[in-house]
Structure 1
């Protein structure tokens, strides 16, 4: 990864990258980039990090505004032999502080806005690293160990450092829906050879084509962005589009200027862009492949985007996996497979099958860890060679999730006789005798005005539906009709999107909602494998 851009430039890759705003590390370079220019930028950034004091084997923390240049900075650190750790700047200040304490970085790369926000919350990030490199003017505050790009520009670039494929290469973090995110350590073997290499194949009908416009709207500090960067560049599409501002109005302008043929986005972004998919002139008319990861997708959203494409057979690829393992199974949805509206058991909970020869899955009894019979619910465990090396600073927690080589995903589900995976819930969120995620699918399907439904639980209480609508209101008769045949639920609480606490990838923090709305301190499940 340290020389990825250089190798692609040497191969003559002619991909043009279009940004919705300039890089924070090179605002003067504008929004359009070629691969040789990106390779030059990675080399320069490696020189900056070396000048700031980063050395082989040391850690470089990257905590800045969301942009693809976080991945470029990570590649620059890898080139030096340092270990980059990407942390979302949108996390609460106390969480960022805790993660940086675990990392103990030699160099912190950040921006003025992040420093100002965390200082207002009583946290000085500059005291958690030996040296801080601020990408813009750092503003008021302690400056003894703060450098700017002007201070390190022009430093001689060290030659690429070669590390063993099994050594730690990059640290990213989990979404943190159940508390403080875990720092996940991956190697070249697990992330590049096992995940990115498989993805960098021109699979028939689904693989990236030379004339594609590949658009990514993501949280670029997560491991998926690092893996995607490797595969996307190696497949060399004509254009790559990077979206960092998910506001529908501003995103629409970019999408119309660079109409995607393949689009990958956070589930929360797809939800926010749903109105853009309506009408006959949507910016998604050319899309033949939609892809979602990170979180469950509900039928109305999938249906809306597939309908927005003018292609004859557009496909939605829904992946199930984790930061620790990468994808574990895939399901390809079509217009036909999501055509039934309001079905009691929606097809979006069926997550396909594991990749033969790459991933093995089992459903096991949570108490005995013995495999359950086909079709019966259990904890889903996986065996895969792409499993991460551990949790930085919490290795005992990582080891507790491994049993005889099988990784405990913490998800509840079932596996059919043919190997098809059906997801029920996260174990920590599981309410006895029902699937919260499935009920959310049904409710969203039956009530078009619902943007998102979240069913949260607490010990000894009825499951509470939290219904997100545009104006925070819900029609009671329509609600009663929609849930008449569903298991007993508490009276719903209607909120607006902005009222719901979320992670950096847009996932709802269900436990915070439960604590606030149910006055609950415990969780429905045990939470042993979160």
Structure 2
């Protein structure tokens, strides 16, 4: 076999190939809580088969939606593989979403089966939301009874069953689907409101995205002796594509870190030091103190991978310095749930070294992959291409573009222009072809870049864990700083001495910043919390 198969049978195929990969988990799967943290590929193939049989016994079949909402872990992916195996379409929803948002998304999905956890049903019930009402069958991955702590008058109208009480035999037949038919549903980050439900097919998610990574490329392809680690949101489409492509190369070990807590991560990563690590930008930030330790668990990393959001230069610098390799690399990818990765850039220690009169930045997103992705920067009003070096709205053309938004055709039509897709990002295309990101259009400030200002603030104020610049009409931009202690006013004045005028910063702690499942700051919620009633510069038309 020369290309990865659809997720429903990929573990079987790898087992037949004799894959030696051993998967290590930071904690047991909620799908198999008694089975420990070490899994071989044949064991995983068996788990997917058993899970598929249980989903079929619950009533899921070809074309049905199987919705999953649970705490973050890799069993999101395994449940998706099991649903695909029987012809169903998995819809993976993050437990970071508010109950009322989950209610809206489940209303659009109308799943045959909802797989969740008791504490999430209870949380929703306390918010006067009954998630179970949307599905024909609701399954919990724990054995606790929902009714044990829910008053009689607030019990869900639909029956709730334990997933583990369903039979794993007989095995359900494998259902084949066309490559262009819906394969999986994932949601966007939802930084500006209710997330969109993005529908991908085997062609877009597996053939184009996972298939691209499953090819053998210099430097980036996992090797037989590698330990590849992932610490991302496993509800995201990236998790499914990563699983198929990374395991296809049969590395020695795969490490799954389900929680970003530094102490929990230290135990797993110290026991299984990664050589290739992919993590959320916010996770890298939380792990900086681990990277700075003398016996860092990142000492053997040859390549770091970051997607989902911007990573500021000081963070990249800390992790590159933590590696004892001579020339470690940081691969920065930029893309969207609807399109997959669009550009790549490799960062080295030298690329982000501090120099006089220069602010190293990660806003340079690199170039699109020739022959795979097209980019066009256009005027936001006329949609006509603008000259190189001029700010515009970024459109992209890729065969990995999703099929559309479930239940929101008008919203899709607003962003799809023939073969081109509107990313909603503002950027500049350089003469050399690189893309320099400014901001999301909804977050823009005329003549400035919030992301660039945030880069500089992070570089000059190492004690800041997160800097967020918010544009405000008729006022100086407002900065929100995540710190453990107040910023010395003199240090602040020195840090902004040559920057455009900024309002005095607001300082908050980490937990006070609303975030998405992928760690992005929900800027609209942050604005509502601290700048309620103020107008923005952006239109938000393409969010």
TM-score normalized with structure 2 length? 0.96
Cα deviation, residue 343, structure 1: 5.7
Q: Give the Cα separation in 1 of the matches to 2:102 and 2:195.
A: 10
From 331, 336, 342, the counterpart of 1:322:
336
Cα displacement string for residues 395-419 of structure 1 (whole angstroms, at most 9, x for unaligned residues): 2211211113211100000111221
Deviations 1:381-400, CA, capped at 9 Å, x for gaps: 10111000001111221121
Q: Confirm or deny that 1:403 pairs with 2:409.
A: no
Q: Displacement of 1:334 after TM fit? A: 0.2
Match runs of 1:22-41 below 5 Å = 22-41=28-47
- For 1:425, the equivalent position in structure 2 comes to 439
Cα displacement (A) at 1:522:
4.0
Q: Deviations over 1:421-478 (max 9, x none)?
A: 100000000011100000000011011111110001233322101111123x111100
Mapping of residues 47-446 of structure 1, within 5 Å? 47-137=53-143, 138-140=145-147, 141-142=155-156, 145-340=159-354, 345-446=359-460
Name the CA distance, whole Å, in 1 between partners of 2:422 and 2:506. 33
User: 2:511 matched to 1:498?
Assistant: yes
Cα deviation 1:99-125 (Å, max 9, x = unaligned): 101111110001112112111211111
Say whether the 8 Å CA contact 2:25–2:37 is kept in structure 1.
Answer: yes
Seen in structure 2, the aligned counterparts of structure 1 residues 289 and 193 have a Cα distance that, compared at 3 Å, is same
1:500-519, aligned counterparts within 5 Å? Answer: 500-519=513-532
Indicate the larger mover: 341-350 or 284-293: 341-350
Residue correspondences, number: 529
Q: What TM-score results when the alignment is normalised by the length of structure 1?
A: 0.98
Name the SS for the 1:87 alignment partner: strand
Q: 2:491 aligns with which of 478, 485, 491?
A: 478
Contact 2:66 2:91 in 1 (8 A): yes
SS at match of 2:260: coil
Distance 1:427 1:309, change over 3 A: same
Tell me the CA shift for residue 523 of structure 1.
3.1
Residue 536 of structure 2: which of 517, 523, 529 is its match? 523
The answer (yes or no) to whether the contact 1:133–1:149 under 8 Å persists in 2 is yes
| Deviation of 1:82 (Å) | 0.6
Deviations 1:234-276 (Å, cap 9, x if unpaired)?
Answer: 0110000000121111111111001000000000000000011
Shift of 1:511: 1.1
Is 1:345–1:438's contact at 8 Å kept on the other side of the alignment?
Answer: no
Is the CA contact 1:324–1:387 (under 8 Å) kept in the aligned structure 2?
Answer: yes
Matches of 1:492 and 1:341, distance apart in 2: 26
**Partner Cα separation in structure 2 for residue 415 and residue 409 of structure 1:** 14
- Return closer, same or farther for 1:422/1:144 CA change in 2, 3 Å cut-off: closer
Deviations 1:498-528, CA, capped at 9 Å, x for gaps? 1111111111111111122222354320111
Report the more deviating stretch, 340-349 or 165-174: 340-349
1:367-392: per-residue Cα shift (whole Å, max 9, x none)?
Answer: 01011000111001101110000011
Secondary structure of 2:53's counterpart equals helix
Q: Deviations over 1:265-302 (max 9, x none)?
A: 00000000001111331110000000011000100000
2:13 to 4, 7, 18: 7
Q: CA deviation at 1:6?
A: 0.6
CA distance in 2, matches of 1:224, 1:405: 22
Where does structure 1 lack aligned partners over 5 or more consecutive residues? Answer: none
Q: Is the 8 A contact 1:346 1:438 kept in 2?
A: no
RMSD of the alignment, in Å? Answer: 1.3
**SS of the counterpart of 1:347?**
coil
Is the contact made by 1:173 and 1:181 (CA closer than 8 Å) also made in structure 2? yes
- Distance in structure 2 (CA, Å) of the matches to 1:90 and 1:517: 21
2:476 paired with 1:469: no
The structure 1 residue matched to 2:469, chosen from 455, 469, 480, is: 455
